[in-house]
Amino acid sequence: MVGLGIAGMSAAIGLRRAGWTPVIVERAPERRTGGYFVGLFPEGLQAAVDLGIADHLHTRNPERRPGGNSWSVDRRGRRRPALGFLDQPGEPAAVLRGDIEAALWQSVTGVEVRLGTTPVAITEGPAEVQVLLEEAGTGARYREGFDMIVGADGMRSSVRRIVFGPDEDHLTTWNAMICAFQLEEQVPSYEASDSITIARAKRAVWVFGLADHAPTALLTYRTTDIQEQFGGSRVQRLRSVFSGMDDPVVRHVLDSLEKAPDHLFDSVHQVKMPRWSKGRVVLVGDAAWCVNLYSGMGATSSLRGGAALSAALLEHPDDLAAALGAWEVGLRPFITKHQRTARLKQQMFVPSSRRAEALRSVLLGLVRRVRGRRQATEAGGQRAWTLSGPVVHPRPMPTRRTGACLPRGRCQVFQGALLAVGEDHRAAELHDLLAAAEFVDEEAVQVGHVTDAHVQQEVVAAREDEHGHDLGHGQRLVVEPADQGPGQRADLGEDHRLHRPAQ
């Protein structure tokens, strides 16, 4: 096992359960702790149960306050209740990466762990794999034979490079950067466990509130020059990237970065491989499929990878090739799905443009209202607003099922559903956002299309006439409460109106 992260320890526990005797080698001189915020989804929690570590897993979801504990800050510096990362379907568990690793570590007892050790050469023979290992401290090298090698050494895996080829063959570049670290203290004027999002075109600041720990921060931005980002002082670079976002939250986060004992600063990639194993060498976790942070599924899939490997080896005890084949067949659809949706979720993390920023805001605002209404209904409260019904500006819009594609770049709200868009290049980010409704998947905010083909088949199109709202022509969308009818609109507040952003 190469790598003492979530994937490596999950695989080690899984293999031991299948009767193997794992040995873990780890490059770092000691086991790392702490780390950034991670949302663990139901599939990850199930894998934790399967691996027998669930009882050791410490989660940190803040208690939900009636007014909400997630906020977004708009361009005028106004704070509004918003949907946060933990509001996603599946109700992820809030943890630090170190919490998962600590839980795994408790079950890894008895497994031999060699710290400060890396593989430098891997040669497969007929009965075993020969590995040339190097000790970082002394530089000493020695050869050893193993029945199988599991590369769990992260996105820039050495095992992958040695056995499967150079990074350029497998790492896809996302033209985005991240910086994640723990805040010493919460942003002034916010509650200790509050979460805050400031998502602007091409740059975003996230603060993840936790129940019993200071929040963690994530700075993320889009750039086309990745290499350039690694030169010079990181703090200065981030100050320059986020300059102009003169908000107390941004200031606090950047000031905290200067004082933080450590941080993670890296470019964003996905790993795409046609096969995750070759002979007796198999890759797991980020080394094999890095879905990346925007998907929010990296830790979940690493746990699942280890649990599934265990099951496959138990099912095929005498046939390694069959076990690895079955493991990959079982796991790949899950990974492919999350690699795809990561592109969409990226728009939620850091919008690609002013247009995407505005649409993100509208979409999440709609979902939040639907949720609020549902919760009010479930609590037996009065139904104050509904999103169903015609949604028009400046006057009611007749709708019909055409089955046809909407005109280029057009966005429409119909019966509480944000429907769109044509096939022009500008619409790419709209596609991303709208398809991200899978991510928000709510009763009245449904978008049933991801590709143009789907749009043509499935969209209930609004009439393609002068009543349509083309976001490209400076119009705005206004959500009408259906109970009062069009034109009887009460004051809905600014946040339900979408103004075309200035170019």
Ligand X SMILES: Cc1cc2nc3c(=O)[nH]c(=O)nc-3n(C[C@H](O)[C@H](O)[C@H](O)COP(=O)(O)OP(=O)(O)OC[C@H]3O[C@@H](n4cnc5c(N)ncnc54)[C@H](O)[C@@H]3O)c2cc1C
Stretch that binds ligand X, among 32-40, 133-141, 182-190, 196-204 (CB under 6 A): 32-40
- Shorter beta-carbon distance to ligand X: residue 342 or 366: 342
215 binding ligand X? (CB under 6 A)? no
Residues with Cβ within 8 Å of 485's Cβ and at least 6 positions away in sequence, in order, are 389
Token digits of residue 128 = 């075993």
Measured from the CB of residue 392, what is the shortest distance to ligand X in angstroms?
38
Residue 448 buriedness (CB in 10 A; 0-12 / 13-18 / 19+): middle
Token digits of residue 248 = 């107390």
Name the 3-class secondary structure at 143.
strand
- Shorter beta-carbon distance to ligand X: residue 297 or 418: 297
48 binding ligand X? (CB under 6 A)? no
- Shorter beta-carbon distance to ligand X: residue 3 or 209: 3
82 binding ligand X? (CB under 6 A)? no
Measured from the CB of residue 154, what is the shortest distance to ligand X in angstroms?
3
476 binding ligand X? (CB under 6 A)? no
- Shorter beta-carbon distance to ligand X: residue 169 or 319: 169
180 binding ligand X? (CB under 6 A)? yes
Encoded one letter per residue, x for contact with ligand X by CB under 6 A and - for no contact, window 288-327 reads -----x--xxxxx-x-------------------------
Query: Where in 412-451 is the site for ligand X (CB under 6 A)?
Result: none
Stretch that binds ligand X, among 12-20, 152-160, 248-256, 356-364 (CB under 6 A): 152-160
Residue nearest to ligand X (CB): 298
Q: Could you tell me which of 67, 500, 128, 488 has the C-alpha nearest to residue 280? A: 128
Encoded one letter per residue, x for contact with ligand X by CB under 6 A and - for no contact, window 241-280 reads -----------------------x----------------
> How many residues line the site for ligand X (CB under 6 A)?
34
Residue 188 buriedness (CB in 10 A; 0-12 / 13-18 / 19+): exposed
Task: Provide the β-strand partners of residue 123.
Answer: 130
Distance set, CA 56 to CA 5, 45, 53, 99, 167 (Å): 16, 12, 5, 9, 35
Measured from the CB of residue 151, what is the shortest distance to ligand X in angstroms?
9
Determine phi and psi for 355, rounding to 5 degrees.
Answer: -65, -45
Measured from the CB of residue 426, what is the shortest distance to ligand X in angstroms?
30
Q: Tell me the H-state helices in 140-259.
A: 158-164, 226-229, 234-241, 248-259
Angstrom distance (rounded) from CA 501 to CA 473: 11
Encoded one letter per residue, x for contact with ligand X by CB under 6 A and - for no contact, window 91-130 reads ------x--------------------x------------
Residue from 50, 87, 153, 247 binding ligand X (CB under 6 A): 153
Name the 3-class secondary structure at 220.
strand
Angstrom distance (rounded) from CA 434 to CA 428: 10
Q: What is the dihedral of CA 339, 344, 348, 349, to 10 degrees?
A: 40
Angstrom distance (rounded) from CA 181 to CA 186: 13
Token digits of residue 502 = 């200035």
Q: Report, in angstroms and rounded to the nearest whole number, the Rg of the chain calculated over CA atoms.
A: 25
- Shorter beta-carbon distance to ligand X: residue 264 or 314: 264
The residues of the shown chain that bind ligand X, judged by CB under 6 A, are 2-8, 25-28, 36, 38-39, 97, 118, 152-154, 158, 178, 180, 218, 264, 285-287, 293, 296-300, 302
